[in-house]
Amino acid sequence: MTTSMTREQERLRWRSRRGLLEMDLILQRFLDQHLTTLTAAEVRAYDALLQLPDNDFLDLAMGRKGPDDAALVPVLEKIRQS
Amino acid sequence: MALSRQIFDTVIVGGGGSGLRAALQLAEAGHHVAVFSKVFPTRSHTVAAQGGIGASLGNMQEDHWLWHMYDTIKGSDYLGDQDAIEFMCRKAAEVVYELEHFGMPFDRNPDGTIYQRPFGGHSQNFGERPVQRACAAADRTGHAMLHTLYQRNVRAHCQFFVEWMALDLIRDYEGAVVGIVALEMETGQPMIFQAKSTILATGGAGRIYHSSTNAFINTGDGLGMAARAGVPLEDMEFWQFHPTGVAGAGVLITEGVRGEGGILLNSNGERFMERYAPTMKDLASRDVVSRAMDQEIKEGRGVGHEKDHVLLKLDHLGAEVINKRLPGIREIALKFANVDPIREPIPVVPTCHYQMGGIPTNYYGQVVAPRGASGSNEVIPGLYAIGECACVSVHGANRLGTNSLLDLLVFGKSAGDHLCQWLKSNPQHRDLPHDAADRSLERLARLDNAESGENITEVANAMRRTVQHHAGVFRTGKLLREGVEKIREVAERARNTAIKDKSRVFNTARIEALELENLVIVAEATLVAAEARTESRGAQAREDFKDRDDKNWLKHSLWYLEGSRLDYKPVNLQPLTVESFEPKVRVY
């Protein structure tokens, strides 16, 4: 799997390394299922989510809060379902 | 191959709480500082700290640093160095007020003072009654601290190298540390960073355990760098465990669940805590519950395919109680264990949380190690270590809650202060040795050239399984001896790994291979030191040596990578200004 990943995908995988174990686990499952099939728009949305502080991202990923930006909804839904 | 080179006064490896606190002290004094971090600094693992910062402000009840000192020494099971502990407890109020001044959003009392929470082990008047000593920012203390310190560092023009991994220390012919070799992930290129001084602040290495609360980045990079450069690792047998982490994930289930009536069951469906603690049962102290769980697993009464966990049952509490009083727990169980605790038990296992040992330092953060045959402790010029990767030693054999964030602040600042003075008397850069980058380049060349070899993930799993099984909470001589053998086999395999992807650009497999080399060093140090220590003290609980043995073991272990050799040094029982706290039997 590693060899077939593009550099962009590798970059996203590394940036999914977080300070909170919970986020590491959630994002690992999401990436294992979806990384190679994300659309350009989803990559943009995921990049935006990766910019968030861990605790805020965790609240969104656990569904405790909804995102301010509607563009984040589809990829966030995939994260929650993974 | 000639590497390009940059020059700084100080390079700091690690952008978590301690690295940022030290950087701030230096950058505000006008020094040219670089901080290296594998991830964006505010995503360091410090963000996971919730409990608070211990400081005897006395905002709730009367409190005194000497009482905090006593609690810390007792908590350490008398393995903590009393000079460093006095230093930390006396400095606690100052570093908390400084953080307040930097803009940290502490919880407040109605009168405007910092609110302080109760926390286990914090007492008034040498153990007489509990005291509220923990300063917190809701449940986001670590998060708030990182953001506060990061902003302040940006303001002070500290330079950050984000998504860089430090590979090795550079030592000159006299043993002084003169910089590091670090790798930029974006390009995959190594570069030399020459510096008058280097601070290791890379955090703990909790990922050596199969079940760990630590984030994936906690791979002990600073410990590996130090060990490869000939620096010993101190007290690596001491790891703090939490009894109930979700099996296979590591996410914590709070002890409140057992407080509400949750019970632990083995594979026979037996409530085994009744045998280990007939009175307190499932509410016995953390270490008792952890050890009982691990013993059940070791004796074959574990649950699951690998018989490697037990069950935490709470369905008998009913949906209403669970939803009302433990909503967060149901959420965690559903997300990370894939079970609904209203109907099914949660698989749990004792889970590694904190590393008490590390790179040996004094309370200025200077790395100290025995030199030559005389064995006297001497400072390694130019090298400092702070935070969880260091062993100063304020936590001894067992850390008191809220002292980890305090440790970051006090010793981060102390190292920064000491360096500001040290740089005045050491204004010149020392020359780089001719072989400055050789070790790092050999490591990279091996990975880049290996056509076939061991799979990184498989070796990492073998390491984590070995450490979890052989150096868990329940330890015996036999288990540890077998563990030492096995981890040496794993270490051999780790020297023969290969990666398929040979690209340089953002090659995460390459990074993970380099991280594994660091983890394996820490794992071997842990097993070897634990096997040799034939006593029980703090987090080291030996079934075959159940008592603390102050006559033979009131000393720190020092493990050397070369020859996997052990040495020892005495515990410093002499505080700075007050009388020594003599070792006593530890009862709560």
Percent above pLDDT 90 for chain B: 91
Model pLDDT, residue A2: 43
Backbone φ and ψ for B503, nearest 5 degrees, come out as -65, 155
Task: Specify which residues B135 forms β-bridges with.
Answer: B53, B116
The model's confidence at residue B1, banded by pLDDT at 50, 70 and 90, is: low
Is the CB of A3 less than 8 angstroms away from the CB of B501? yes
Strand runs (DSSP E) across B323-481, as ranges?
Answer: 346-355, 359-360, 366-371, 376-385, 390-391
The per-residue pLDDT for range A9-41, each reduced to its tens digit, is 999 999 999 999 999 999 999 999 999 999 999
Helices (H), B201-240: 221-228
How many residues does the structure list for chain B? 588
ipTM, two decimals: 0.95
**Chain B residue with minimum CA distance to A16:** B39
> Per-domain residue ranges for chain A?
12-81
CA distances from B363 to B86, B201, B359, B500, B575 (A): 10, 15, 12, 45, 12
Nearest to A20 among B48, B185, B499 (CB): B48
In the predicted structure, residue B436 carries a pLDDT above the cut 60 = yes
The model's confidence at residue B144, banded by pLDDT at 50, 70 and 90, is: very high
In the predicted structure, residue B374 carries a pLDDT above the cut 70 = no
Contact present, B249 and B334 (Cβ < 8 Å):
no
**Distance between CA B480 and CA B466 in Å, rounded?**
10
Model pLDDT, residue A72: 95
Instruction: For helices B508-532 and B438-449, give the axis angle rounded to 10 degrees.
Output: 110
The per-residue pLDDT for range A29-82, each reduced to its tens digit, is 999 999 999 999 999 999 999 999 999 999 999 999 999 999 999 999 999 999
Model pLDDT, residue B119: 86
3 state SS of B235: coil
- Looking at the complex, report in whole angstroms how far the Cα of residue A71 sits from the nearest Cα belonging to chain B: 24
**Distance between CA B329 and CA B18 in Å, rounded?**
31
Nearest to A3 among B43, B163, B500 (CB): B500
Is the CB of B43 less than 8 angstroms away from the CB of A18? yes
**Distance between CA B468 and CA B354 in Å, rounded?**
14
Active site residue B286: yes
Q: Which residues of B touch A19 (CB under 8 A)?
A: 39, 42-48, 146, 215, 217
**Chain B residue with minimum CA distance to A57:** B43
Model pLDDT, residue A1: 41
3 state SS of B283: helix
Tokens of B433: 């040795």
In the predicted structure, residue B566 carries a pLDDT above the cut 50 = yes
- Looking at the complex, report in whole angstroms how far the Cα of residue A80 sits from the nearest Cα belonging to chain B: 9
In the predicted structure, residue A3 carries a pLDDT above the cut 70 = no
Q: Which residues of B touch A57 (CB under 8 A)?
A: none
CA B344 to chain centre: 33
**Chain A residue with minimum CA distance to B509:** A2
Exposed e or buried b for every residue in B355-365, given b needs 16+ CB within 10 A? bbbbbbbbbbb
**What value does the mean pLDDT take over residues B421-450?**
96
Q: What is the pTM of this model?
A: 0.96
Which CATH number fits the domain A12-81, given the four candidates 1.10.150.250, 3.40.50.1820, 3.90.1330.10, 3.40.190.10? Answer: 1.10.150.250
